[in-house]
């Protein structure tokens, strides 16, 4: 119990600007993360998680370009900033890998959509805790550029992108967590 308590409480969102540049993530590690994701609970065994891995520099560059283009197309002239535009594509290039998080709706809609989104979120938590266990930084990001990237990701019918999972090695000290008391959110009946 102590082992899992420690990993759960040590888990943090670690952002790409703190990732060590040029330190690659082995494909085998990413495969293990995906395998752990795959063991999340899933109502009716729909296994609604789909993942698109951007590992090579070329693929991360394409993701970055898409995000810059999204900023250009969706930012009104009065709030447009050249600097923000450039920055909008930084994260994929600062990361060792990025995983697009996609939910596949059950074609027969045997369970409500929220249960499939919940199952994908549990799969993400499995990856996040696995990263924590091996000291790999990561975080779930949900920018509009990703949520509306159906064309870029060539999503199939019933698929919906729920965000991007950034990954990278880091040497940051343990960040303190911020949570209120659980007792305030609990009623014992």
Q: Applying CB under 6 A, which residues contact ligand FMN?
A: 12-13, 139-143, 163, 177
Shortest Cβ 174–ligand FMN spacing (Å): 11
Plot region of 115 (φ>0 → left; ψ -120 to 50 → alpha; else → beta) = alpha
Radius of gyration of the chain (CA): 18
CB closer to ligand FMN, 26 vs 171: 171
Residue number, nearest CB to ligand FMN = 12
Max intra-chain CA distance, the chain: 56
Our CB check for ligand FMN shows the closer of 26 and 115 to be 115
Between 27 and 103, whose beta carbon lies closer to ligand FMN? 103
| Minimum CB distance to ligand FMN smaller for 61 or for 140 | 140
Contacts of residues 147-153 at CB distance under 8 Å and 24 or more positions apart, as own/partner, are: 148/70, 149/66, 149/70, 149/100, 152/63, 152/66, 153/52, 153/100, 153/102
Q: How far is the CB of 189 from ligand FMN (least distance, A)?
A: 28
Find the shortest distance in angstroms from Cβ 9 to ligand FMN.
9
Residue for token pair 């693929």:
59
């Amino acid at each position: 119990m102590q082992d899992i308590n420690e990993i759960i409480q040590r888990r943090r969102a670690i952002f790409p600007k703190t990732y060590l540049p040029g330190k690659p993530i082995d494909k085998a590690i990413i495969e293990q993360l995906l395998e752990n994701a795959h063991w999340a609970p899933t109502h009716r065994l729909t296994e609604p998680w789909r993942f698109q891995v951007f590992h090579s520099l070329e693929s991360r560059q394409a993701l970055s370009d898409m995000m810059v283009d999204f900023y250009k197309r969706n930012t009104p002239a009065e709030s447009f900033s050249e600097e923000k535009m450039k920055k909008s594509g930084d994260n994929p290039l600062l990361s060792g890998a990025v995983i697009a998080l996609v939910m596949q709706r059950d074609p027969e809609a045997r369970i409500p959509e929220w249960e499939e989104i919940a199952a994908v979120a549990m799969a993400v938590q499995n990856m996040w805790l696995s990263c924590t266990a091996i000291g790999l930084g990561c975080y779930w990001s949900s920018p509009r550029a990703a949520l509306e990237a159906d064309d870029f990701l060539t999503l199939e019918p019933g698929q919906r992108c729920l965000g991007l999972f950034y990954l990278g090695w880091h040497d940051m000290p343990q960040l303190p967590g911020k949570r209120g008391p659980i007792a305030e959110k609990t009623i014992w009946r």
